Amino acid sequence: MKGNRLLSAIGGIDDRYITEAAPKETKKPPSVLWKAALAVASFAILLSASIRIPQPDPDEKLPMLSIRSGLDDGYGFEGHFVHRVEELTNNNPWYAEVELQTLPVYQNAVYPHVKDGFVIDPDTAGMKETLYKTARSLDMDTTAEIVENKVDGCTEVYSYCMENERYRVEVNAWLMVNVSFKQGRFPDGLTLRSDATYEQLEATASYLQEAYHGLLNMKNPTVDIYEGDYSVYGDRRLQLSFYDTAEDVTESMVNYAFHRIRFYGNEDGSLSQASFYGGTRDAVVGDYPIITVDEAEKLLIEGRYLTSVPDAFPGAEAIGKVELVYRVDSREEFFIPYYRFYVKLDESHDIEELNLITYGTYYVPAVSGEYIENVSRWDGSFQ
């Protein structure tokens, strides 16, 4: 299936972001579909942007942008089980009081080369360059053999990898980097278990920052302990990543969105993998005017939003929190900022026996509507 090929190519779906919609008349047990690590949330967040912040040119006309209508692909919807919405945490550098007039929009450099879930004519030189750079950051012998991988039924190179007794580094055609740790045991007291506490992950982050400073390669590495929702078994789950904080809020937001390094653990809590986008291509389209939170909420109430949630927006009183993010997807031509609203859903999605309620995510483009060419289709069919 094409969707499966795409997910295979970019690493699967992060299990925190997809909640399967159970029929409304089925109260118990709720059906939840959790897919493992990295795509719409990982590849998506990490794909194809540079950290250069463009300066707006008042004499230059900004290109019109198009948005793909529809976020659902048969894998459920983006939802979170929590006792209260405050449990959904992250270290997003954006905050409601910051006054941003514009934000950069990026071109998806891979978009024109994707066919049937594969990257056609991949940047093999860039893949190898990224592989060597990552290997050097881990003090690996870069004269070691590079293995070329292909996917059955495709003549294009899917990935290159290099390994030694400690690491296996793989760079795929999307320029996503996956570092597997063969000796990932932590000192006593440190862990990356999915049910680790916030305090445990803080301690583990300090160790990772010192042990893998070359891999991080950041001037001001900032820890992001994020999510905080619960599994269907009632275990709270947090994830750990790093991004580079800058003096400028916009640059910090770009780093947070596109250049985070995520660390993952095995079931026993040992270090399993680190993943990040390794490209350096400059794909800035321009600096676009953005709307305010209040303006975005009005659009949300009017039904002018994108979501994978099967339910219509239940009303303003159901809004739990909002943040400004880049929702990027390999199928999008442009990567633009969105206001992401966490909205309390109908009780039919809850897990009553665990006192867990469900929040779904609804997205409103933060770019001013005059620059979105298909904005006229926001009539409900755009949901």
For the chain, helix (H) and strand (E) counts, in that order, are 7, 18
pLDDT along the chain (383 residues), means of 10: 35 39 37 35 40 50 82 72 96 91 90 82 92 97 93 86 97 93 96 94 98 96 96 93 96 93 96 88 84 96 92 95 86 90 96 96 94 61 39
pLDDT at 103: 96
Residue with tokens 């809850």: 350
pLDDT at 47: 44
pLDDT at 99: 85
pLDDT at 318: 97
Rounded Cα distance between 106 and 48, Å, is 8
Residue among 356, 295, 325, 372 nearest 80 (CA): 356
C-beta of residue 122 within 8 angstroms of C-beta of residue 157? yes
Query: Under 8 Å CB-to-CB from 340, ≥6 apart: which residues?
Result: 322, 323, 324, 325, 327, 361, 362, 363
Residue with tokens 């400073």: 213
CA 201 to chain centre: 20
pLDDT at 279: 72
> In which order are the strands placed within the sheet that holds 147-150?
147-150, 157-163, 167-172, 176-181, 271-277, 261-265, 236-244, 221-230
Concatenated DSSP letters for 221-250? Answer: EEEEEEEEEE-TTS-EEEEEEEEE--SSHH
pLDDT at 20: 37
The CA-CA-CA angle for residues 16, 283, 276, to 5°, reads: 35
C-alpha pair distances (Å), 190 with each of 73, 185, 203, 205, 221: 37, 9, 7, 9, 19
What domains sit in the chain, N to C, each tagged with a CATH number?
2-81+291-377 (no CATH), 114-277 (3.30.310)
**Residue 80 DSSP label:** E
